[in-house]
Amino acid sequence: MDKVIKVGIVGMGVVGTGVAKILLHQGSLLTERTGRQFQLKTVVDLDWERDRDIDLSGVATTTDFNALLSDPEIEIIVETVGGIEPAYSMVRQALAKGKYVVTANKALIALKGQALFKEAQEHGVDLRFEASVGGGIPIIKSLREGLVANRIKNIYGIINGTSNYILTRMHQEGLDFATALQEAQAKGFAEADPTLDVGGGDAAHKLTILASLAAGGFVDFQAIPVEGITELTTLDINFAKNFGYVIKLLAVCRFNGKLDLRVHPTLVPGDHLLAAVNNELNAIFVTGDYVGDTMFYGPGAGQAPTASAIVSDLVDLAHGIGTERETAAAPIINPEKEVPLFSLEEVTNRFYLRLFTMDQPGILAQIAGVLAKYGISISSVVQLETHGTENYVPIVLLTHEASEKAMCNALAEIKKFSFVRPDILRLRLFK
C-alpha cells in the first residue's frame, strides 16, 4: 500500500495556494511517480475571507499554527508566510517538534539558515528550500546532487526577475529606469516598494544560499557587497551596446582559496549565454572543475513554478519518511563550517567608468594620470560632445584589470577635481 504523507501549509497566499492546488489536483500523478500519497490535511492563514479560487473541501482550515504543531499525523509543514518573523519562529517550532519543513523563504534561509539547520540536526529532521532560489529552476538540487562530484569554481546568477525585466526594457526599447520600473509594476513584476529588487538585496539573499551550498558552510549575508541598478541611465545602456556588452544585475560567486561574493550591475559580453536572458526570466551559470560550464534557465518566480519546486522538496522528503532512511540526512550546508570571504578591496576586475566633466582641454589627460598613478590602465575611451545645459560632457572609460582598492583610491582623488561632477558611475566587466 502506498505510504500516505500528511502535509500542512502555513500561509495561504499566492505560493501556498499554488502548493495546495498541486497536492489536490495532481495527487494521482504524484502517487504514480513516487509511490506515496500526499494528503493536504490542514492549512493555516489569518484571512479566510479572501477568494483563492480553490476548493478546500476536506481540508481543515484554521488561523491557529498550533493545529499543525500538535497534530502527530502531519509530518511535513510547508512555510509560505515569507519574511523573517513570524516565519522564523514557526519553522523553528516545527523542527523542534520533529516536523520536516519545506520553505520558499530566501530571506529566512539567508539570514537564519544557520540556526535552523542546527535545530533540524538536533531533532533528526530536514529543512528543504529548493524554491528559495530561481523559482522553478532546480538549482538547489543540482548543486547538492547533480554536481556533487565537482568543486564549484564560479557561479554567476541573474536571479532577480524584476531587475532583469527593467534592464531588458532599457536595452531593447530605450526606456529610462523610471519608465521601465513603472511598466514592471503595472505588469506585476515589481512590488509597490521595489527597493529589495532594484537595490540588489533580493539577489544577495539568493547568492548567500547558492554560495553556502557551493562552499558547504553558511556565508555571512552582511559581508556581501551589494549595488543595485538605480543609477543606470540610457546613456550607460547605449555605451555598453557600443562596446559590445549588455548590462545585467549579476550575483557573483568566485572561488580562489576564499570566496569572492558580490551583487552589482555587470557588463556581460553580448555573445555570452547570460546576455540573452531577458525579461523576468532567471539564469544561473555554474562552472564545476569536472563538468565545466553549465547554465540553468527558467522562470524565477510566480505561483506555479515556485509551487512546483516546493512539491519537489515534499517528494524528496517523502521518500525517507516511514522507511529505514527516516533519519536526518547529512546536512546540505554544515552549520558549523566557517567560510572565509575576500573583502571587496582584495579582488580585481575590469571597470567601466562614466564621468561628466567640464568641456575643457586637458581634462582627460589629468583623469588618465590619476588612474595611472594607481596602476590602472585604460583600454578604451569615448568622449561625447556637450551633453545637457551645464556644459558638461560624458566621458566613458573601460580599464584593464585592476584591484578594487586601487580603483576606490583613484576615484576618491578624481572626485576632488573641480571640473568633474560627483556622480561618477563605476561598473564591472564580466570575467
CA angle centred on 42, ends 39 and 43, rounded to 5°: 120
Question: Which cell numbers in the block locate residue 255?
Answer: 572561488
- Is 241 among the residues known to form the active site? no
Local structure of residue 224 (DSSP, 8 states): S
Local structure of residue 167 (DSSP, 8 states): H
Distance, in Å, from the CA atom of 353 to the CA atom of 254, rounded to the nearest integer, reads 23
Residue 41's φ and ψ, nearest 5 degrees, are: -95, -45
Residues 84 and 112: beta-carbon distance below 8 Å: yes
Radius of gyration of the chain (CA): 24
Distance, in Å, from the CA atom of 419 to the CA atom of 356, rounded to the nearest integer, reads 9
The one catalytic residue among 21, 41, 206, 248 = 206
What does each C-alpha distance from 201 to 106, 248, 251, 262, 352 come to in angstroms?
Answer: 11, 15, 10, 11, 22
Following DSSP, what letter does each residue of 265-279 receive, concatenated?
Answer: EEEEETTSGGGG--T
User: In a 10 Å sphere around its CB, with 0-12 CB exposed, 13-18 middle and 19+ buried, how is residue 25 labelled?
Assistant: exposed
User: In a 10 Å sphere around its CB, with 0-12 CB exposed, 13-18 middle and 19+ buried, how is residue 271 labelled?
Assistant: exposed
Question: Which cell numbers in the block locate residue 26?
Answer: 495532481
User: Which residues make Cβ contacts (< 8 Å) with residue 15, sequence separation at least 6?
Assistant: 80, 104, 131, 303, 306, 307, 310
* Residues involved in catalysis: 206
